[in-house]
Chains A and B, each alone.
Chain A
Amino acid sequence: MSFASGVALRRAVAARPWLHKIVVPIAEKYNDLAGYRKVGLVQDDLISDENEIVQEALKRLPPKVSYDRVYRLRRAVQCSLAHTILPKEEQTKPEADISYLMPYIEEVERERKEREELDSLTRAR
């Protein structure tokens, strides 16, 4: 399953207002309970980066965004080692939990898919 399929699901939900109305509060609650915001992370920090696609996407991040990501990760590791959570004002607020990496991942996936398609062109008779 590709990363983009999750995004596709999200878009499918957003396209149906009634479904959106039901799902969003549940998702919000789930994200809150998941606990990553309490150590100052955002959702895109949780994407597993041990594959080529995410590695390439990470390389494409603007320098400031990339720096912030490393900072958040190190802070979270520190919290984890010390068995603490951040003080309330340093925790990630829901409105600050924006998807900074996913657009780049989508772009890389789109590029790879396009290359695959172009590599396997057949001539229509």
Chain B
Amino acid sequence: MLARSTLCRGPSQLLARAVPHSRRGLAAASVSNPFHYSVDESTGIKVVSRDDGGPTTALAVVARGGSRYETAPGLAHGLEKFAFKNSRRSALRLQRETELLGGALGSTLSRENIVLRAKFLRDDLPYFVEALADVLIHTKYNAYEFNEQVASTMNFEVDKFHHTPAALALEAAHNVAFHGGLGSSRLALTNKYLTNKSITEYSKKVYNKGNIAVVASGAPQPDLEKWTAEFFKELPSGTGPAVAPAKYYGGENRLFSPHGDAIVIAFPGSASAPSPKVEYTVLSYLLGGEASIKWNTGMSLLSQAVSDIPHTAAVAKHVAYTDTGLLYVTIEGPGSALTQAGKNVVSAIRSLGEAKPEDVERAIALAKFDVLAAAEDRSIGLESVGQTAIASGKAPQVEGVVKALDSVTVETVKAAGKKLLESKATFVAVGNTYILPYAEDLGLSV
């Protein structure tokens, strides 16, 4: 048996060793609210940071250059996969040096942003700011690197996408809902327009001072500003690609897929900034679909709706973009069961107008927990923080979101829920199209 005292002592000692004493003292003194992001401009670049005095740092460079802004299909995906390839130093050297420092590098692509990420020990901030700056300024975009490394990883992702019916359905739903721009495919479905030259051109369009934000969690703002000014000074100035505001269209689409069946039902949602309508977030939690406890279908509307249909799951999510949003329900399961599941889901959505106050309260509590839990995690929220900083020069604060969630009333949620089915819905069925239902079968107007 382990003595209880040993168990208790372990972690705290570990922490004490990881955090240098002087820093811990400093941080403890300066931190009043560890979730508060401060924003500033350093040589024309938005620098956003928060510092909770912890031993590790998550750093991200958010560039407004996701698939929404690309000038030919697939450029954003190609550019994202070119991150951390040969620049001033070789890709291999960067990778090995990062490993020696105990850090990790990565990049992600969303519809709106290309995000370069780094996680590392607090003291290594200058090294990683320089590494991310090198990607933006000095990447060589060699043709052979594209052929040898970039194209194969892209193809791998695209293959995976084609084998995931739910992802295919969500992608098609965006296309139906927003048409071009925001609705264009996130991944490069074809390599036809991708050459190292076209990717280089796109990088010049996207990687410039007015179009990026440097976001850090766990780094002091003055240090971050100083290093950003030093390493990003060669980055050309500019304001990035122009784009038409997104418009919601809605409609129906059916795709054959041999890899499984999925349905996505989507409705217009709320934009992320400057004034997000949080009732849509609450609606997505009210519909829910994910159980909070293991081996249990859960009490949310959607999990109740499909609980009688075996091997079927329906999950609601809300995604917010800069000027619009999408509230969508993904239903997965055997094709033969999806008609019934779809009908149940639509009647659950219809029942939102008469939502019970205790259900709304539960949804708000869940939403609040997820917001705060995401804020505690160093690396989750960086993209949305950067996105808002680029768009408005301000950082979204967690306190604000929590306050907004607190002020949501049952009436506003009910009203928003009623409004959903009044607007034109988006319906996508992927899989065995012979047996999958049409929107009209489920009682949706598209």
Binding site for B on A (CB under 8 A): 59-60, 62, 111, 114-115, 118, 121
Contact = CB atoms under 8 A, between A and B. Distances in A.
7 contacts: A59-B144, A59-B147, A59-B148, A62-B143, A114-B92, A118-B96, A121-B96
Contacts of B143: 60, 62
Interface of B: 90, 92-93, 96, 100, 143-144, 147-148
A118 B144 contact: no
Nearest to B142: A60
A114 B144 contact: no
A100 to B, nearest CB: 14
Contacts of A111: 90, 92
Contacts of A60: 143-144, 147
Interface of chain B, helix or strand or loop or mixed? helix
B146 to A, nearest CB: 11
Nearest to A115: B92
Contacts of A59: 144, 147-148
A103 to B, nearest CB: 12
A60 B92 CA distance: 18
A118 B94 CA distance: 11
A118 B90 CA distance: 12
A57 to B, nearest CB: 9
A115 B92 CA distance: 7
Contacts of A115: 92
6 shortest A-B CB distances, which residue pairs? A60-B144, A118-B96, A115-B92, A114-B90, A114-B92, A114-B93
A46 B320 CA distance: 60
A111 B90 CA distance: 8
A34 B127 CA distance: 52
Given A60-B143, A114-B90, A121-B96, 15 more contacts: A59-B144, A59-B147, A59-B148, A60-B144, A60-B147, A62-B143, A111-B90, A111-B92, A114-B92, A114-B93, A115-B92, A118-B92, A118-B93, A118-B96, A121-B100
A115 B90 CA distance: 10
A121 B97 CA distance: 11
